Amino acid sequence: MTHPADLPLPEAAAALRAGTLTSRDLTQAVLDRIAARNPQLHAFTHIAADALEQADCADALLRAGDPGPFCGLPVAVKDLIDVACQPATSGSRVLAGRIAETDAPAVARLRAQGAVLIGKVATYEFAMVGPDLSLPDPPARNPWNTAHITGGSSSGSAAAVAGGLVRMAIGTDTGGSIRSPSAYCGCVGLKPSYDRVSRAGAFPLSASLDHTGPLAATVEEAALALDAMSEGDWRPASARIGQPVNGLTIGFARNWFADDPQASPALIRALDAAASTLSLLGAQIRLVTLPDYAPYEAAASVILHAEALEEHRALIRDHAGAYGRPTLQCLAFGAAIDAEDVARARQAQTRLTAEMLAAMAGCDLILTATTLTPALPFAAFDGEKAVWTPMRTIAFNLTGQPALSLPAGFENGLPLGLQLIGRPGDEDLICAAGHAFERATDHSVQRPPA
């Protein structure tokens, strides 16, 4: 019999509506799973004291017969995002003791549907750099091998989902912070189109690049979660789940990883195999050459560091000693950036976005890598020198396009991820293709050792 905590969200929702499962029993099963596994994974930093009370309220809504789509389902929230009456420290001593007064809009939408907001999960300090062992909360660990990082900054979100603690967690993504932890931990991360999900109530890193979205165990669960959090008139991300990919043209951007010496040979093989699988499923695969990645990374870096410093100026003035050293070093980059630098980066953003969309001409979506290697060991971060993990993510924060990361294989027991990118508003296309690939392979059904 499937453990309640392992039930996919659609199955759990159906059981809740049928009365064969209660939210209290499901929530208790999740709490028990957290108690058993979190001491090794350090994914959760706070468990809601009223989790079972929330579940009882959800059960009452279910009995009343008019539940929302997420009614009774446990959800974790990155500690960068406000959940009323729960800690909101952004993983930093600077905000120690802060308790959120209200829900962030994305959280409020889930709460209104009866979701159980079971607790907060770890983040790199202010969503910047990590892992930082000097901070009060230990960094989340990769469920596949706890000697390795999860990636950041939605580190706890990925560890919680991949480790089987919850089926879905909310994260944020400014340069890849939903997608890279998903790739490293072997779960699904969906960065939506810019402004599809409200960024309010999340501590800003860079408002021009920030996105809020779900990490989940499967593509379908990520799509349903995004639909539940979305605001405005968007096509449902789940609208084409289960439909064949016949007729889709997928541009295979092999140049973005295969030509890079940092790319793992196993990753190259995994992405080539993914393109072949999608072709066998009926998609037309077209080799495309995307514009050079470096200018996207450079422009986004200028915008990110300039906006981050402005957001933190007052806090640095009053609480500099409370920041972790890696975070202060990251913020210091912003001091070397002036208004002209930012203006040039904004001009580049407009040009580069147009170039990216032009490169997609004739294609419905793009297939490329999420990260170029599996997760690094914690030992790589022991020294004073900054360590950068090679990714292919921040370009789509700059362009605002939706991007989906999902498992594509393994190297030495650690997950590898692929990325599917669409035009703004095309979450339904990338989720349809991702779901089809997921169903045709066994990457997503494999789970780390308990």
- Give the confidence band of 389 by pLDDT, cuts at 50, 70, 90: confident
User: Would you list the DSSP string of 260-290?
Assistant: -TTS-HHHHHHHHHHHHHHHHTTPEEEE--P
Residue 383 pLDDT: 65
Q: How many other CB atoms sit within 10 Å of the CB of residue 367?
A: 27
What mean pLDDT value characterizes the chain? 96
Q: How many residues does the chain have?
A: 450
- Give the confidence band of 382 by pLDDT, cuts at 50, 70, 90: confident
The sign one gets for the Cα dihedral 206, 207, 208, 213 is positive
181's CB contacts (< 8 A; 6+ apart) are 150, 151, 152, 153, 154, 155, 157, 158, 159, 171, 189, 215
Is pLDDT at 235 greater than 70 in this prediction? Answer: yes
Report, as residue numbers or ranges, the catalytic residues: 78, 153, 177
**How far is 55 from 12, CA to CA, in rounded Å?**
13
- Cβ atoms of 287 and 252 closer than 8 Å: yes
pLDDT in tens, 263-290: 999 999 999 999 999 999 999 999 999 9
Q: Does 388 or 311 have the greater pLDDT score?
A: 311
Average of per-residue pLDDT across 359-371: 98
Choose the CATH number for 11-295+342-440 among 3.50.50.60, 3.90.1300.10, 3.90.550.10, 3.30.1360.100.
3.90.1300.10
Q: How many other CB atoms sit within 10 Å of the CB of residue 174?
A: 27
Is pLDDT at 1 greater than 90 in this prediction? Answer: no
Average of per-residue pLDDT across 417-443: 98
**How far is 157 from 166, CA to CA, in rounded Å?**
9
**How far is 354 from 358, CA to CA, in rounded Å?**
6
Is pLDDT at 364 greater than 80 in this prediction? Answer: yes
Task: Indicate the DSSP class of residue 138.
Answer: P
Residue 386 pLDDT: 62
Residue 229 pLDDT: 98
Residue 384 pLDDT: 60
Residue 385 pLDDT: 59
Average of per-residue pLDDT across 147-166: 97
CA angle, 82 as apex, 22 and 323 as ends, to 5°? 130
Of 65-69, 218-222, 255-259, 368-372, least confident by mean pLDDT is 65-69
Average of per-residue pLDDT across 232-252: 97
- Give the confidence band of 38 by pLDDT, cuts at 50, 70, 90: very high
**CA distances for 403 relative to 4, 79, 177, 321, 365, angstroms:** 30, 22, 12, 37, 10
pLDDT in tens, 414-428: 999 999 999 999 999
